[in-house]
Copies of this chain bind each other. A is one copy, B any other.
Amino acid sequence: MQQEQNERTIPQSTRKAKLYGVGVGPGDPSLITLRAVEILQGMQVIAIPKSKMERESVAWEIAQAHCPSGVRILELEMPMTADKEILQAAWHQAAVKIKAELDLGHSVAFLTLGDPSLYSTYSYLLAILKSQLEPDQIETIPGITAMSAAAARVNWPLAIGDDPLIVLPGIEGLEEYEQYPNLVLMKVSRNLPDVLNHIQKTGAQAVLATRVSQTGEEIRLLSPGEVIEKVDYLSLVLYKKDRSEDLG
């Protein structure tokens, strides 16, 4: 059980600074947890990856409503590249910045849209910082994922009974998963035509969910043979094969 006291109630000098990985949920400000709100209310430093992505500003908008007015933003440079070496360097630099704050006695909340454990930059930072911090200096607060929010919006199950649930961050090798009933395809903007072809071939029912629970949300059932050229990068597909009965 997470029973720590709110940061604000403990004098700065007696507490150990902590790194909080805070999941703020999928976008709807009401889909944040009480625990995340409690943590944010006591924060002095909020770490946000700075990139061209809008994802971060959405996370900050949700968090800001709960942060003290004097909160300080620690921007972490995250280059938009797939080059693992450049990314590694950026994560290490970000970790140094966070560690420096902690060493000064400042607790830091690193924000993640959705859940910090699922395809998040936070995981890369943790892998670096774990060896440099005491175990009780790290607390991760889980968040509602975009896939849970998408399933809720269309009143579909993600999975039921003995069915596996398979979450695919890339859409390469989609054929490999043809026999599985429940797929969640993340980041479909990278290759939507392949996804649409796959859906037509397998006859699956599928929903394209863009900016789930955020301003500009669009959710639509995909029809077989549908052609969509371009889609917002904050999009995912819920894919159901031979599961009409479950969908009601």
Once A30-B34, A248-B131 are accepted as A-B contacts, the answer to whether A151 and B142 lie under 8 Å apart by CB is yes
Please tell me if A70 contacts chain B, counting CB pairs below 8 Å.
no
Contact with B along A148-176 (1 / 0, CB 8 A): 11011101111111111111111010000
What copy number does this chain have within its complex? 2
**In the complex, which residue of chain B has the Cβ closest to the Cβ of A167?**
B165
State whether B37 touches A159 (Cβ < 8 A). Answer: no
Please tell me if A144 contacts chain B, counting CB pairs below 8 Å.
yes
Interface of chain A residues 1 through 36 with chain B (CB within 8 A): 1-2, 21, 23, 25-26, 28-35
A129–B32 alpha-carbon span in the complex (Å): 28
- Chain A: residues with Cβ within 8 Å of the partner, total of 68
A152–B144 alpha-carbon span in the complex (Å): 12
Please tell me if A104 contacts chain B, counting CB pairs below 8 Å.
no
Please tell me if A140 contacts chain B, counting CB pairs below 8 Å.
yes
State whether A28 touches B32 (Cβ < 8 A). Answer: no
Interface of chain A residues 23 through 63 with chain B (CB within 8 A): 23, 25-26, 28-35, 37-38
Please tell me if A242 contacts chain B, counting CB pairs below 8 Å.
no
- Return chain B residues, CB-CB under 8 Å to A172: 162
Which of B33, B161, B162 lies in contact with A30, CB distance below 8 A?
B33
Please tell me if A245 contacts chain B, counting CB pairs below 8 Å.
yes
A165–B144 alpha-carbon span in the complex (Å): 16
Point out which of A21, A142, A143, A169 has the most chain B C-beta atoms below 10 A from its C-beta.
Answer: A142
A26–B161 alpha-carbon span in the complex (Å): 19
Once A25-B33, A35-B28 are accepted as A-B contacts, the answer to whether A159 and B164 lie under 8 Å apart by CB is no
Point out which of A25, A127, A129, A166 has the most chain B C-beta atoms below 10 A from its C-beta.
Answer: A127
